[in-house]
C-alpha cells in the first residue's frame, strides 16, 4: 500500500465500536460494518480490520474481497479466519500478538490459587453464613505443564515460575534449553508427560493438529488430583470427554474461560459442576484492552501505509505467528 | 531443664489431638488436657505446649503453674497469652514463627487476584448459569502496602513483588533499605501512606499499639478503589468502622481471614456484603500444617532438654519475636 489513493479500510465490528479510530479516519476511508453488511463493505476495500474477532461470518463474504491486501484481527487466535480461500490467497494476515500475554498469565495464576486455596468453597460457605475451617494447598513446588509455547504460554510460564511452581511446556519441538520453560516436551508425546502435572494449562493455537487434543485419553493420563485450565480455545477440548472425566474423578477440577460454543448454553452440565470454574472468555480482557487492540492495529496501519514490514504476520499454513517473528 | 528427672509436659489441646507426639512421650510425662482440666494439668508441669493456640483459658489457670519454665504456642501470634502475670513471670515464651509465612503469602496473592479478576462475581454468575463478559484488572504495577514487617509480612512482600506489584511496608521504624520491602514507613504515620495503596494488607502482631489501628480514620485515608486484606488478627480492625467504610464506598472491598469474634457470628453484616471475601482463619493452614507445628515444638523441646538456647523466643514486652532472633 504505497500508492497515493486514499485507502479504503473496512472495520468489521459487532455491538462494540472500536475506540481511538479518529487518527485513522483522518487518512483513510473507513467503512464500519456488521456481519450483514460485510460483503458490501469488503468490495473495493484495501484492508480489513476484524474487530469482531470471534465471528465466523468472513468466509461467506469473502467472494466480495476484490482488492484486499491485508487483514488484521483483534485477537491472538486467528482460527476464526483460517478458511481455505484466505489461506490460498495473497492477503497478508496479522494478529494482536502481545496484547493479552501478561493479563492471561495473571488470570491463570489466579485460577490456580483459587483451586489451591479452596476459594470457591469459601465463597459458597460465605453465602450460607457458614464458618468451616479447611486445610488448603501450597502452590510452591507443584508442577504446571503449559501446552502452547507462544507468547501467552511464555508469559504464563514466567508468572507461574515466579510464584514458585515448577513449570514445563509442550510445543511442536522438544527441547531442554528454552528460556521461559526450561524443558519443552513434544506435543505429540503429550500423554507421556501429563501424569507429572498438578496443573495442565491449555493455550495452544487452534489448528487441525491441536483440535480436540484434550480428549478422554489425555484426561485419563492426568493425575486424579490434577486441575485443567483452558485459556486457549474451547475446541482444543473434547468437551463431552472433559465432563465425563470430571464426573469420573479422572481429574479434580477445571477452570474454563473458553468453550466450543460461546456463550456456554444455559443447560450445559459444566455450569453446575462444583469443581469447575467458568468465566466468559475474559481472561485477557483488562480495563483498556480495547484501546490496546486498536493501538496495535494503528501501528500496523501506519506501517502498511508507509510500506514498512508489518508486525505479527501470521503463517497461514501453521495458523499462528511463528516464534521470533 | 538439665536435671535428670523425667520432665512433665502439659499439652493444652482442643478437639484436635497433636500428631507425631510419640518421640516426646518416650522421654517426658505428657499430660494432655482441655480447658476444663488445665489448672490440674499445670500443677507440677515444667513445660506447657499450647496447641489450642487461640484459647484464652490460660490466665484463669495460671495460678496453678507452680514450676513452669517454658510455654510454647502453636501459632505465630502470641496475643492470647499476653496477660500481665505471664509477662511479669520468668517463664520463657516461644512461638511457631516460620510455619505459616509462605502459605499466607500465597493466600494473600490469591485474594488480590480474586479481586482483580472479579472471581467472586464469576462464581455467582456461574451459579445463575449466566454468561456476562466483564473487563478485569491487572495486578502488575498496582501498589500494595503490607502493614507488619515480621516474617509473614516479608513473605507476603516477596510474593507480591514476584507477581509484579509495587510493595512497601509499614513497621515500627521507617527505613529505605529493607531487603524485602525496600521502603518501610513508620506505622505511626500510617495514614500518610494509605492513600497510595491499591491493596492494604494487615499482618501486624496484635499488641496494645496495633489494636484497632484500622479504624474509620484509616479507611477514610484509603483510595475508594482500595481493597483491604486482613490475615493478621481481627482486633487490628475496628470492625464496625470497616463495615461502615465498605457501605459508604470509602474502600472497594475486603478479604478477611480473621475477625474480632471467631467464628464470625451468623448474623454479622460482613457475611452478606458482595465486596467482602470471608474465610475462616485458615490462610496459613495448608495440608501438613499440624505436623509442622509439632515439628517446630519438638525441635525446641529437644533444645530445652539439652539446655540449648530455644528458638523463637518472644519478647514479652513487645509481644512478638524481635527481628533477627
**B179: which residues sit within 8 A by CB, 6+ positions away?**
none
Note the pLDDT tens digit of each residue in A273-311. 999 999 999 999 999 999 999 999 999 999 999 999 999
Q: Does residue A319 lie in a domain region?
A: no
Average pLDDT over chain B reads: 96
Q: Are B185 and B167 in contact (CB under 8 A)?
A: no
Are A139 and A224 in a shared domain?
A: yes
Contact (CB<8Å) A106/B162: no
Residue B315 domain-assigned (yes or no): no
- B107 contacts in chain A (CB < 8 Å): 113, 117, 136
B164 — pLDDT class (breaks 50, 70, 90): very high
Instruction: For residue A248, count other CB atoms closer than 10 A to its CB.
Output: 12
Residues A217-243 have a mean pLDDT of 98
Domain tally for chain B?
Answer: 2
Question: DSSP assignment of A29-70, as one string?
Answer: EEEEE-STTHHHHHTT-SEEEE-STT---HHHHGGG-SS--E
Q: Are the Cβ atoms of A126 and B278 closer than 8 angstroms? A: yes
Say if residue A261 is in the same domain as residue A300.
no
User: pLDDT band at A89, cuts 50/70/90?
Assistant: very high
Residue range B275-310, pLDDT digits in tens: 999 999 999 999 999 999 999 999 999 999 999 999
Residue A325 binned pLDDT confidence (cut-offs 50, 70, 90): very low
Looking at the structure, tell me whether residues A35 and A128 fall in a common domain.
no
CA B200 to CA B245: how far, in whole Å?
A: 14
A85, A19: one domain: yes
Say if B312 falls within a structural domain: no
Same domain for B70 and B180, yes or no, is no
Residues B122 and B15 reside in one and the same domain: no
- Whether the per-residue pLDDT at B66 is higher than 80: the answer is yes
Domain identity same for A272 and A294: no
A166: burial class by Cβ within 10 Å (0-12, 13-18, 19+)? middle
pLDDT tens digits for range A110-149: 999 999 999 999 999 999 999 999 999 999 999 999 999 9
**Shortest distance, CA A231 to any CA of chain B (angstroms):** 14
Residue A263 sits in the same domain as residue A292: no
> How many whole angstroms separate alpha carbon A95 and alpha carbon A176?
29
CA dist A160 and A163 (Å) reads: 5
Give yes or no: residues A92 and A106 share one domain. no
- B92: buried, middle or exposed (CB in 10 Å: 19+, 13-18, 0-12)? middle
SS3 A112: helix
The verdict on residue B3 lying in a domain is: no
Give the CATH number for residue A27.
3.40.50.720
Quick check: B137 and A287 CB within 8 A? yes
Domain assignment of residue B114, yes or no: yes
Q: Are residues A176 and A269 in the same domain?
A: yes
Residue of B nearest to A161 (CA): B162
Range of the structural domain that residue B55 is part of: 8-99+287-306
By mean pLDDT, which of A204-218, B3-17, B193-207 is the weakest?
A: B3-17
- pLDDT tens digits, one per residue of B106-147: 999 999 999 999 999 999 999 999 999 999 999 999 999 999
Residue among B85, B137, B262, B308 flagged as catalytic? B262
Q: Do residues A236 and A111 both lie within one domain?
A: yes
Across the beta sheet with A92-94, the strand order is: A29-33, A8-12, A47-50, A70-73, A92-94
pLDDT given for residue B325 in this prediction: 36
ipTM: 0.95
Within a domain: B319 = no
Catalytic, B233? Answer yes
A195 and A81 fall within a common domain:
no
Q: Is B315 helix (H, G, I), strand (E, B) or coil?
A: strand
Amino acid at each position: 500500500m504505497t500508492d497515493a489513493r486514499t485507502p479504503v479500510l473496512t472495520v468489521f465490528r459487532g455491538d462494540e465500536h472500536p475506540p481511538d479510530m479518529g487518527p485513522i479516519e483522518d487518512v483513510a476511508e473507513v467503512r464500519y460494518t456488521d456481519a450483514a453488511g460485510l460483503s458490501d463493505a469488503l468490495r473495493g476495500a484495501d484492508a480489513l480490520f476484524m474487530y469482531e474477532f470471534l465471528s465466523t461470518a468472513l468466509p461467506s463474504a469473502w467472494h466480495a474481497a476484490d482488492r484486499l491486501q491485508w487483514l488484521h484481527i483483534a485477537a491472538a487466535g486467528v482460527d476464526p479466519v483460517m478458511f481455505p480461500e484466505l489461506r490460498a490467497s495473497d492477503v497478508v494476515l496479522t494478529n494482536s500478538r502481545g496484547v493479552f500475554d501478561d493479563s492471561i498469565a495473571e488470570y491463570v495464576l489466579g485460577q490456580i490459587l483459587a483451586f489451591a486455596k479452596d476459594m470457591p468453597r469459601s465463597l459458597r460457605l460465605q453465602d450460607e453464613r457458614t464458618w468451616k475451617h479447611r486445610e488448603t494447598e501450597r502452590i510452591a513446588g507443584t508442577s504446571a505443564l503449559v501446552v502452547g509455547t507462544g507468547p501467552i504460554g511464555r508469559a504464563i510460564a514466567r508468572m507461574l515460575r515466579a510464584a514458585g511452581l515448577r513449570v514445563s511446556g509442550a510445543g511442536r519441538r522438544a527441547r531442554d534449553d528454552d528460556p521461559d520453560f526450561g524443558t519443552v516436551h513434544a506435543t505429540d508425546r503429550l500423554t507421556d508427560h501429563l501424569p507429572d502435572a498438578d496443573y495442565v494449562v491449555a493455550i495452544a493455537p487452534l489448528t487441525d493438529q491441536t483440535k480436540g487434543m484434550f480428549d478422554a485419553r489425555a484426561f485419563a493420563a492426568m493425575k486424579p488430583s490434577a486441575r485443567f485450565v483452558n485459556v486457549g480455545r474451547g475446541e482444543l477440548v473434547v468437551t463431552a470427554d472433559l465432563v465425563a472425566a470430571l464426573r469420573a474423578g479422572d481429574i479434580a477440577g477445571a477452570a474454563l474461560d473458553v468453550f466450543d460454543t460461546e456463550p456456554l448454553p444455559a443447560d450445559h452440565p459444566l455450569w453446575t459442576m462444583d469443581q469447575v470454574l467458568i468465566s466468559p472468555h475474559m481472561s485477557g480482557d483488562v480495563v483498556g484492552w480495547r484501546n490496546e487492540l486498536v493501538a496495535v492495529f494503528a501501528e500496523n496501519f501506519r506501517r502498511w501505509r508507509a510500506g514498512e514490514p508489518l508486525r505479527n504476520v501470521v503463517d497461514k499454513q501453521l495458523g499462528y505467528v511463528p516464534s521470533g517473528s
